Amino acid sequence: MADEHAYRTITDWQHLDAQTGEAIRAFWLREQANVQGAEATRRLSQVVAHVVDENDQIVAVATVAPKILPRLGQPMYYYRCFVGKAWRSSKRVRPLLRHTQKVLEAFAREHDYPCIGILLELENEGFADTLRWAHWPGVGFSYIGVSPRGLDLRVWYFRGARLKTPAQLARLRNGGIADHRRPAASAAQR
């Protein structure tokens, strides 16, 4: 069956407004995404983009958190995507991932590559079973191994990114890897 909805992807990176933040929080709660309270507040500051349907109802949300995984030893954006139950067959995952790649790569280039790429841990068993290629040509992610949780790990590097030097990595580790974001405004700040 063809998906007959009209979708829009909205970029929130660096400028998530309070009203959209509250709508995303409500979406996570309604869809039982296990993102509540302080965790939801933290995740709102990590939102890169969200997708809405023709009725402006939120369909999916993409977030990233900067991390240095011991396996890679370099700063990467750890990607998460949540799609609401009613839209999981709508094939929103790939377009949202591509949009996120473009937004973060542009941001990285403008800010001297605070992270050198995007890392994803493939939690969806359906994707893990059907996307068995070592390299995903449509989005450029490559398999690099298995996480401590036993899930496939995939990476995509930003064009022009260079590995951080040991001195740069020491500064990141000592000062904590910055989130590069301003916190989303809460409802109380409106």
Tell me how far apart the alpha carbons of residues 164 and 93 are, in angstroms, rounded to a whole number: 30
Q: Is residue 120 part of a domain?
A: yes
Tell me how far apart the alpha carbons of residues 67 and 156 are, in angstroms, rounded to a whole number: 14
Q: What is the span of the domain harbouring residue 60? A: 8-177
Neighbours of 33 (CB within 10 A): 18
Total number of residues shown for the chain: 190
Q: Is residue 184 part of a domain?
A: no
**Angle value at C-alpha 159, between 155 and 165, nearest 5 degrees:** 80
Q: Helices 18-30 & 37-44, crossing angle to 10 degrees?
A: 130
Q: Is residue 84 part of a domain?
A: yes
Q: Return the SS3 of 35.
A: coil
Q: Is residue 131 part of a domain?
A: yes
Pairing between β-strand 75-83 and β-strand 117-122 as defined by DSSP bridges: parallel
Question: How many domains, in total, are found in the chain?
Answer: 1
Neighbours of 49 (CB within 10 A): 23
Whichever domain contains 102, its CATH number is 3.40.630.30
Helical (H) or strand (E) element with 106: helix 93-110
Residue 71, pLDDT score: 82
Q: Is residue 39 part of a domain?
A: yes
Tokens of 55: 């009725």
Q: Is residue 145 part of a domain?
A: yes
Predicted structure pTM score: 0.86
pLDDT digits (tens, 9 = 90+) for 104-140: 999 999 999 999 999 998 776 655 555 677 877 778 8
Q: Is residue 186 part of a domain?
A: no
pLDDT digits (tens, 9 = 90+) for 55-84: 999 999 999 999 998 889 999 999 999 999
Q: Is residue 183 part of a domain?
A: no
Pairing between β-strand 8-11 and β-strand 47-52 as defined by DSSP bridges: antiparallel
